[in-house]
Amino acid sequence: MPHPLAGKPAPRESLVDIPALISAYFNRRPDPKKPTQRVAFGTSGHRGSAFRKSFNEAHILAITQAVCDYRAVHGIDGPLYLGKDTHALSTPAQETAIRVLAANGVETRIAEGGEYTPTPLISFAILGYNAQKGVSPADGIVISPSHNPPEDGGFKYNPPNGGPADTDVTGWIEKRANELLELDLEGVKSLPYEEALATHHIEEIDFITPYVLELGKIVDIHAIKASGLRLAADPLGGTALGVYKKINELLGLNLEIIHPYVDPTFSFMTLDHDGKIRMDCSSPWAMAPLVELKDRYDLAFGNDVDADRHGIVTPVGGLMNPNHYLSVAIGYLFEHRNWPESLKVGKTLVSSSMIDRVAESLGTEVYEVPVGFKWFVQGLHESWLGFGGEESAGASFLRYDLSPWSTDKDGIIMTLLAAEIKAVTGRDPAEIYAEYEARFGRSYYGRIDAPATPEQKAKLKALSPEDIKVRELAGEPIEGIFTRAPGNDAPIGGLKMVSANGWVAMRPSGTEDIYKIYAESFLSEEHLKALQEEGRQIVSEVIGSTPTS
């Protein structure tokens, strides 16, 4: 059940104490002997809070030095593009990173005037630079915990392919960073901040204008502008704010910006399902204020804090389920772009099977991978994936000329694509999805969490299809059991079982003592619940039940 205050304005007592948080960043020292205080790169980099001693100055000194060491070992000596989001810890963390990068002689490019930089703009800049002939490879760092609560910080590394770093890269950086923590930062080079800025290694650039001026090469800006659509964008206090302002200035769309300011407490937010402030643009509770305005606009949309995710609000459908909008976006792109038949659709294995049904109707092959956008980077970079998307509202796609735009998630092009769909087809994206349900069947999709000890999570991650002895799933024969993704044969870190009219997937959380149960039915809500419950029972039998108290 959602928290009693879910969808309600954040009470003052729920706001983070920003001065105390910044003080904790500089003054609390992590203990590398404690697992929760070590550097740990998950699917979206290292995340933590200064209060919990999991995101402090020592972490950023160590991680940034580890990135410098990685660059040196692997011959990456072009510029490093460094961006930050609007979380309170991001600016001090960027200052720490600048001290280390300058001391290591890394040519570092930061946003002019202290501007905030969305994740996709870092990827866009890396790809643009590396597309030049004869240049040394560039890479980047994004300081952001994405949609996490205001007290959190995050640090992500993007190698020269522009996308999220693969596990071999993050594993190398994580190992080296923890070695530095254990050595009490011996081996970390750093300069005083003012001295670092004064070196020739730090250069301020405009990230936003080049990105906005190129938008016509990936989205039909002319059609959107000619349609006169009344649009609204809510950056949720994040980095998309500067981009939408520049879009209005240079492209002249009929776009109203909701909450056009930055507030590190995010006090304007409504509480998420669990009663926390979380800038999740796919959450109906966090997006409640924008949903209330849906009838004032032809289309409204939001982004999370680093703008790599999207939330689409329509007069017909309200806040669209991310899986629904992904299906519509894929259907539209592969019908309206002059793309070759060889291009594939990338989806994560816990995304809706509606994507498979839409792709099949278009004669398009689906490339199914484990959870994590990093699995789409190569396909987008090499232009054999036309689209890559995941169930958590992250996606990117190719330009009109089939070159990559961003090999990281880009929530801004996804919101503008929704406006293009409305402008070109004259139809609400939610209406298009309703037509898909009429053609392909209605999808009932859900995710629940179940408790699990670290030992049980390890067992779940190590399962093989032979460990599953049952032959039926919610009354239907099991047609497939997967512990490796069909698209790239990579381990999924869990288990997926498929029947004719549904599927269930279970995978352990990387940060909490839970495992996640994803399921989808094309029969009924009751069938969905049966899939979830049978999936839980099957896993419990294999890894052992978890005490409820």
Distance separating alpha carbons of residues 151 and 491, to the nearest angstrom: 33
pLDDT score, position 115: 97
Give all strands (DSSP E) within 150-292, no chain letters: 152-158, 202-205, 231-234, 255-257
Structure-block tokens of residue 364: 């398009």
Region 281-301: what's the mean pLDDT?
A: 97
Q: What is the pLDDT of residues 376-396, one digit of tens each?
A: 999 999 999 999 999 999 999
Distance separating alpha carbons of residues 238 and 250, to the nearest angstrom: 20
Distance separating alpha carbons of residues 447 and 463, to the nearest angstrom: 20
pLDDT score, position 545: 63
Does the pLDDT value for residue 299 go beyond 60?
yes
Region 303-308: what's the mean pLDDT?
A: 98
Percent of all residues in the chain with a pLDDT value above 70, rounded to a whole number: 99
The residue behind tokens 């806040």 is: 319
Q: How confident is residue 165, by pLDDT bands cut at 50, 70 and 90?
A: very high
Q: What is the pLDDT of residues 225-256, one digit of tens each?
A: 999 999 999 999 999 999 999 999 999 999 99
Does the pLDDT value for residue 549 go beyond 60?
no
- This prediction's pTM: 0.96
Phi-psi region of 83 (alpha: psi -120 to 50; beta: other; left: phi over 0): beta
Catalytic sites, residue numbers: 146
What pairing do the DSSP bridges indicate for beta strands 139-143 and 80-84?
parallel
